[in-house]
């Protein structure tokens, strides 16, 4: 069995967000293989902690994948502020013939368009993939999982940070399928008593609001910012589309700050969120005309949560327009060469300033890796944690399963990867997830 098959069978997907099956990336032939450790969501620390703890595993995984796709140039990109991870990498990278690329502490340093440009000087075509400029980019945890897959070890745990309004912010390696409630307990519980907790699943910038604390941890979970439900960020992120459109239509003064700070605009792409905001006032063809500028949005949220002085939601306008345009099959047509904006380097948004703007300074505490022996009573493992079609269960209710057993797989020839049990136990329920009671 080759590496690609081992990676598929081990259920490896992008651990940094979208959950694209990693074995598909291994079908390419490229010049560069890039490990992305440039974690940029404020307060999250799981990649930094992983790079300190499993440095060699990441580098081995990177070389295995790079050898497989014939990539001669291998880089690991991380922020220059992460001194102790850099110290370990400085010792080990020469042995593995991997270069280190250091980035400043700005947001969104971890966007793959930024990483590819920073390391190679190449610009990914609009709406394109790193592959089109000879690169594959993987999150550092994905590469740790590739290394494990080569040894037949499937993905059954996840590095996650629990930060925000908790007593002891921590980063842990948690069994997939345990609940967010279990993670909050691992962080000492919430640090407030006068409100209900809400979580920003994935971080303050790109994360979604999660109210149900019984939701399970999945392969794409990166971290949770716990906040009181009444927090302003939770309120803004929970606002219904109709309400944000209505406010945006009447309050946007077309100041263009959202465009001037947009990282994709500064990279030279024709995305102009202020024009998408203008589209809110139109119906029909004119709306489509202005909405087109949303097609190249990476959904980083900088326009809404940092740039807009009116606290409007140009990001949501872009995401909604992009979805509508994709549904109509509209693609971006590039008519002029992509050219980096001359102000790009001067308009970067430092994480510290962003954190202040988000009102998170009171929660800015380290979240060090802490070894915790989780003993859940049950785990709930969703059958769809990846880009592609859902897995179909291959176990029945009542079946006894062991840790690492495959419990669901995608039909042959379909996009996706199997899911595995993270515990020894008995299957007690199957719907769109498989619940296993621990024995
Ligand atoms: S920054 Fe806000 S007010 Fe200014 S153009 Fe953008 S959405 Fe409108
Ligand atoms: S979310 Fe806003 S700032 Fe980010 S890429 Fe989209 S338009 Fe630009």
21 and 114 assigned to the same domain: yes
Side-chain half-sphere exposure of 298, counting CA atoms within 13 A: 24
Nearest-CA residue for ligand 2 atom 8 is 262
Residue 427: inside a domain: yes
Check pLDDT > 70 for residue 280: yes
Domain boundary among the residues 107, 128, 150 is at 150
In this prediction, residue 334 has a pLDDT band, given cuts at 50, 70 and 90, of confident
In angstroms, what CA-CA distances link 424 with 136, 405, 435?
35, 9, 12
366 and 437 assigned to the same domain: no
Q: Residue 288: its pLDDT value, please? A: 66
Q: Is 412 exposed, middle or buried (0-12, 13-18, 19+ CB in 10 A)?
A: exposed
69 and 90 assigned to the same domain: yes
Q: Say if CB 203 and CB 41 are below 8 A apart.
A: yes
- Chain-centroid distance, C-alpha 339: 27
43 and 115 assigned to the same domain: yes
Say how many Å lie between the CA of residue 277 and the centre of ligand 1. 7
Q: Go through 300-324 and write b for each residue having 16 or more CB atoms within 10 A of its CB, e for each that does not.
A: bbbbbbbbbeeebbbbbbbbbbbee
288 and 195 assigned to the same domain: no
**Whole-angstrom distance, CA of residue 63 vs CA of residue 363:** 37
Residue 317: inside a domain: yes
**Whole-angstrom distance, CA of residue 258 vs CA of residue 272:** 8
Instruction: Give me the residues paired with residue 35 across strands.
Output: 76, 138
In this prediction, residue 413 has a pLDDT band, given cuts at 50, 70 and 90, of very high
293: Cβ below 6 Å to ligand 2? no
252: Cβ below 6 Å to ligand 1? yes
Residue 128: inside a domain: yes
19 and 49 assigned to the same domain: yes
Check pLDDT > 70 for residue 285: no
What residue numbers bound the domain in which 432 lies? 377-439
Check pLDDT > 90 for residue 246: no
Q: Residue 250: its pLDDT value, please? A: 85
The model's pTM is 0.95
Would you state the structure tokens that stand for residue 28, as one six-digit string? 């390419």
Residues 156-195: tens digit of each pLDDT? 999 999 999 999 999 999 999 999 999 999 999 999 999 9
299: Cβ below 6 Å to ligand 2? yes
Residue 348: inside a domain: no
Q: Residue 13: its pLDDT value, please? A: 98
Q: Residue 78: its pLDDT value, please? A: 98
Contacts within 8 Å (CB) and 24+ apart, 238-246: 238/209, 239/313, 241/316, 241/320, 244/312, 244/313, 244/316, 244/317, 245/280, 245/317, 245/320
Residues 353-408: tens digit of each pLDDT? 999 999 999 999 999 999 999 999 999 999 999 999 999 999 999 999 999 999 99
Q: Is 83 exposed, middle or buried (0-12, 13-18, 19+ CB in 10 A)?
A: exposed
Please count the structural domains in the chain.
Answer: 4
Q: Residue 439: its pLDDT value, please? A: 83
Would you state the structure tokens that stand for residue 125, as one six-digit string? 């075509």
Nearest-CA residue for ligand 1 atom 4 is 255
Q: What is the mean pLDDT of residues 219-245?
A: 94
Q: What is the mean pLDDT of residues 63-83?
A: 98
- pLDDT above 70 coverage of the chain, percent: 98
- In terms of residues, how long is the chain? 439
Residue 227: inside a domain: yes
Residues 195-217: tens digit of each pLDDT? 999 999 999 999 999 999 999 99
410: Cβ below 6 Å to ligand 1? no
Nearest-CA residue for ligand 1 atom 5 is 254
439 compared with 49, residue with greater pLDDT: 49
277: Cβ below 6 Å to ligand 1? yes
Domain boundary among the residues 150, 178, 209 is at 150
Contacts of 389 (CB under 8 A, 6+ apart): 410, 411, 414, 415, 416
Residues 289-332: tens digit of each pLDDT? 668 888 899 999 999 999 999 999 999 999 988 888 888 888 88
318: Cβ below 6 Å to ligand 2? yes
- pLDDT above 90 coverage of the chain, percent: 88
Domain boundary among the residues 150, 173, 202 is at 150
Q: Residue 59: its pLDDT value, please? A: 98
Q: Say if CB 233 and CB 252 are below 8 A apart.
A: no
Ligand 1: which of 257, 278, 301 to mutate, most ligand atoms within 8 Å of CB?
257
Could you tell me the sign of the dihedral formed by the alpha carbons of 415, 417, 418, 421, in that order?
A: negative
190 and 109 assigned to the same domain: no
Say how many Å lie between the CA of residue 44 and the centre of ligand 1. 28
Q: Residue 284: its pLDDT value, please? A: 66
């Amino acid at each position: 069995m080759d590496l690609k098959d081992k990676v598929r069978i081990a259920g490896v997907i992008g651990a940094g967000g979208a959950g694209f099956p990693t074995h598909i990336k291994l079908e390419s032939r490229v010049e560069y293989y890039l490990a992305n450790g440039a974690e940029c969501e404020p307060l999250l620390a799981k990649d930094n902690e992983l790079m300190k703890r499993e440095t060699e595993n990441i580098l081995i995984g990177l070389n295995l994948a790079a050898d497989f796709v014939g990539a001669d140039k291998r880089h690991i990109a991380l922020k220059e502020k992460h001194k102790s991870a850099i110290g370990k990498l400085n010792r080990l990278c020469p042995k593995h013939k991997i270069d280190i690329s250091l980035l400043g502490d700005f947001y969104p340093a971890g966007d793959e368009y930024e990483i590819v440009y920073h390391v190679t000087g190449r610009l990914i075509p609009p709406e394109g993939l790193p592959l089109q400029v000879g690169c594959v980019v993987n999150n550092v945890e994905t590469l740790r999982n590739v290394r494990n897959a080569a040894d037949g070890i499937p993905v059954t745990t996840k590095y996650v940070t629990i930060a925000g309004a908790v007593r002891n912010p921590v980063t842990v390696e948690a069994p997939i399928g345990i609940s967010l409630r279990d993670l909050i307990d691992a962080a000492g519980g919430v640090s407030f008593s006068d409100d209900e907790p809400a979580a920003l699943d994935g971080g303050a910038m790109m994360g979604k609001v999660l109210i149900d604390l019984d939701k399970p941890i999945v392969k794409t979970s990166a971290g949770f910012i716990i906040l009181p439900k009444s927090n302003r960020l939770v309120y803004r992120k929970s606002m219904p589309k109709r309400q944000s459109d209505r406010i945006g239509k009447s309050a946007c003064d077309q100041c263009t700050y959202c465009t001037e700070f947009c990282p994709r605009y500064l990279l030279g792409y024709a995305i102009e969120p202020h024009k998408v905001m203008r589209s809110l006032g139109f119906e029909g063809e004119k709306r489509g005309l202005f909405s087109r500028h949303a097609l190249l949005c990476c959904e980083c949220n900088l326009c809404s949560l940092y740039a807009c002085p009116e606290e409007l939601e140009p990001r949501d306008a872009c995401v909604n327009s992009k979805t509508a345009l994709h549904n109509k099959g509209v693609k971006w047509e590039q008519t002029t060469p992509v050219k980096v904006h001359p102000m790009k380097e001067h308009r970067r948004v430092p994480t510290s300033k962003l954190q202040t703007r988000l009102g998170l300074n009171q929660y800015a505490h380290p979240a060090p890796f802490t070894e915790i022996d989780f003993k859940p009573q049950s785990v709930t493992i969703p059958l769809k944690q990846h880009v592609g079609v859902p897995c179909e269960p291959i176990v029945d209710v009542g079946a006894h399963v062991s840790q690492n057993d495959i419990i669901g797989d995608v039909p042959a020839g379909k996009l996706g990867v199997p899911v595995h049990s993270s515990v020894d136990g008995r299957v007690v329920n199957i719907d769109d997830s498989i619940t296993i009671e621990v024995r």
